[in-house]
Amino acid sequence: MIFGIKSITAQRVESTENILLSLNETIELALERSPDALINIHRFRRSYWEYRSFRAGYLPNMTMNATLPNFTRSIDAITQSDGSESYRDRTLSRYSADISLTQKIGLTGGEVFLQSGLQRLDNYFVDTTTNQFLSTPISIGFRQPIFGYNDYKWDKQIEPMRYKEAKRTYLESREQVAITAINHFFNLLMAQVERKIALKNQSNYDTLFNIAKGRYVLGKIAENELLQLELNLLRADAAVENADLDYQDMLFKFKSYLRLTSNQSIVLVPPSTTPHFSIQVEEAINEAHTNTSSGLAFDRRMLEAESEVSMARLQGRFDAELFASYGLTQTANTIGDAYKNPLDEERVSLGLTIPILDWGQARGRIRMAESSYDLIQTSIDQERLDFDQNIFLKVMQFSMQQNQLMIAAKADTVAQKRFDVTQKRYMIGKVNDVLELNNAQIDNDNAKKGYYSALKNYWNNYFEIRRITLFDFRNNQKISFDTDDLIEK
C-alpha cells in the first residue's frame, strides 16, 4: 500500500454503475494489475530462483550413476602360455552403479567427495562364462586446484550482491509503475477537464452569440463583433469534438494500463490535499547510496572487474592440482564375497601445468583486464557524480513544488473570477470589447490546465524521490517488501 489505504479489488471496480477512482486507488490498481507490475514480479522471481540455484550449488550434492549394461563383442589378440599370440572372439558385459556425495569448498575452490560403488564383469567364452564383482564400499577424497582462478570465491561475493540488487530493482520498478499510473491518471484527468471546459465554452459562446444577434439587430454592436462571436462559437464546436476524441484516447490508454475491461464510465477524483515536507539533500544522497540498486551496482561492477583481473593473472600461468583419495575395495566371484575383508586403496596425484611459450598471450590478457578495470573505475566515478547531481536536482525540484502548486491554484482562482466578472459585464453591456472576453476565457482555461499540470508535476516528483532513494521521507522509513509473499503469490 502506498498511502496506507486498503487496495481496492476488481470486484468493487466493476460492480458500480460509474467507476470513481482517486489517485491513490489508481496507483494501487496499477501495482496489482498493470502489465509492468506483472513483468516486474516475474523478473524478480527469476532472479530469486537464480540465487536459490547458486546457493544450492554450495550444498552437498548427491548423485547416482549407473551403466546397465555396457556390452562389447570383439576379436582381440591374446597371448598364449608359450608366448605366441592368437586372435580370439571375446564377449564382455559390464554393469556398474555408484553413488557419490560432493561438497564444494568456496574458500579454496576445491571439492570433497564421498563415494560407494559396485561393478560386475561378465566374460563370455565359447564353452564357459565367468563373473566377477568389484566393490568399493567407501572412498573419500578431495580435488584441490592450488594456483588456479577460484571462481567459487568470487561468485560467493558477487551473487548475493546481484540478488540484493534485484530486490532493490524490483522496489524501484514498483515506484516507476506508480509514476506511470500517475501520468495516465492526470492525462485522463486533464482530458476530462478539457472536455468540460470545451463544453462550457461552447455553451457560453452559444449564449453570447444569441445575445449578440439581438444587440446587432438593435444596432448596439458592430457586425465585426457579431462575426467574432460566431467564429468563437464555431471554434468552440470544433474544440468539443477534439476534446472528446482526446478524452477517448486517454481513456483507452488508462483502461489498457490498468487492464479494466468494463465499459462503464470512469470519473477521476483529483487529490484534494498534497503532503508537504522538507528533504535534506545530504540525507537523500546517503539514503540513495544505501538503499538503491545503482548504489549497489557500483560496488558490484568494481568487484566483477577485480575478478576479471584475478582470472587474467591466474589462468594460462603455472598451475597445479592435487588429488587424493582413500577407500576400501575388494573383488570376488559373488556379491557377498566382494564385501568381505576389503583392502585399502590410496591414490595421490599432483598435476602440473607449466606454460613454456605463449608469445605474450597471458601478458596481453592481464593488460586488457587491468585496462578494463581502470576504465570501469573511471566510468563509475563519473556515474557517482552524475547520480548525486541527479538526486540534488530532484530534491530541489520537489522543494519548489509546494510554492509552484500554490501559485497555480491562486492563478486558477483569479483567472476564474476574472472570466466570470468579464462575462457578466459583457452580458449586461458594460463590456463591449469581445477581445477582452476572449482573453479572459483563454487565461481562465490556461490557468485551470496549469493547475492540474502543477499537480501532476508534484506527484511525479514525489514518487521520483521515492524511486531514486527507496526511502519514504513522508513517513521517515525505508521502502521494502515481503519476499516470501511475492514468491508465493
pLDDT tens-place string over residues 402-440: 888 888 888 888 888 887 887 777 677 665 566 777 778
Give the DSSP per-residue string, 385-424.
Answer: HHHHHHHHHHHHHHHHHHHHHHHHHHHHHHHHHHHHHHHH
Q: Residue range 100-110: average pLDDT?
A: 85
pLDDT for residue 429:
67
Q: Residue range 120-140: average pLDDT?
A: 84
Q: Tell me, what amino acid is at 273? A: T
Together in a domain, 169 and 138: no
Q: Residue range 63-85: average pLDDT?
A: 79
Residue 169 has pLDDT above 80, yes or no: yes
Q: State pLDDT tens for residues 303-336.
A: 999 999 988 888 877 788 888 999 999 899 888 8
Q: What is the CATH number of the domain that holds 288?
A: 1.20.1600.10
d(CA 239, CA 202): 8
Q: Give pTM, 2 decimals.
A: 0.81
**Within a domain: 308:** no
Q: Residue range 134-149: average pLDDT?
A: 89
153-157, 190-194, 435-439: least confident range: 435-439
Together in a domain, 350 and 221: no
How many alpha carbons fall within 13 Å on the CB side of residue 1?
A: 8
Together in a domain, 139 and 178: no
**Within a domain: 366:** no
- The confidence band for 125, taking pLDDT boundaries of 50, 70 and 90, is low
Together in a domain, 126 and 172: no
> Is the Cβ–Cβ distance between 240 and 199 less than 8 Å?
yes
**Within a domain: 476:** yes
**Within a domain: 311:** no
Give the DSSP per-residue string, 265-332.
Answer: EEEEE--S--------HHHHHHHHHHHSHHHHHHHHHHHHHHHHHHHHHHTTSSEEEEEEEEEEEEEE
**Within a domain: 367:** no
DSSP state of 139: E
Expressed as residue numbers, the domain containing 424 is 10-54+155-301+374-488
Together in a domain, 252 and 391: yes
9-23, 159-173, 221-235, 248-262: least confident range: 9-23
Together in a domain, 22 and 101: no
Together in a domain, 232 and 263: yes
Return mean pLDDT, the chain: 86
**Within a domain: 389:** yes
Together in a domain, 277 and 171: yes
Together in a domain, 145 and 161: no
- The confidence band for 375, taking pLDDT boundaries of 50, 70 and 90, is very high
Query: What is the total count of domains within the chain?
Result: 2
> Is the Cβ–Cβ distance between 168 and 431 less than 8 Å?
no
Together in a domain, 114 and 202: no
**Within a domain: 361:** no
Together in a domain, 162 and 257: yes
Together in a domain, 237 and 272: yes
